[in-house]
Amino acid sequence: MNYSIDVSLEQNEEFSAFLKHKIREYNNEHSIHHREIRKEGSIQPINIIVLDNDKQWIGGISAEVYWHWVEIHDFWLREEYRGKGLGQLLLHKAETIAKEKGATKALLTTYEFQARLFYELHQYRVVGKISDYPPGSTYFTMVKAFV
């Protein structure tokens, strides 16, 4: 077996795409769940958009339902709208929609300086923790079962 090793310290989109393609092929071969998720319509998006009186975006939630889970990717509100119950309303709405789409669990990530306590108040629990990422902070993976 002959090979050589090259090191590049620059972005290489073509190489990144190659690796992603090969990992996807491997996952598809070894996991029915990965194969099924690639089918059209398997991933069900949820976007809850909050607008002000001028129809300007002030925040919302973007999530996806697949594998009977909802993965909350992004959840943000403009500062002046926080602490007034709107976040709780949006999270509950996203969870309700996800359950209607077949989700039985929720997954999200957050940093300690973001919303860990907010999620814990809504029955999310920490299942993963990376300390000092970024330096001086902690990164959390959180889940909630819809039972």
- Tell me the pLDDT tens digit for each residue of 42-68: 999 999 999 999 999 999 999 999 999
Q: Give the per-residue pLDDT at 40.
A: 85
Both 19 and 48 in a single domain? no
Both 81 and 57 in a single domain? yes
Both 29 and 49 in a single domain? no
Both 32 and 54 in a single domain? no
Contact 145, 125 (CB under 8 A): no
> Which pTM value belongs to this model?
0.86
Name residues whose C-beta falls within 8 Å of residue 65's C-beta, 6 or more positions apart in sequence.
43, 44, 45, 46, 71, 98, 101, 102, 103
pLDDT at position 35 over 90:
no
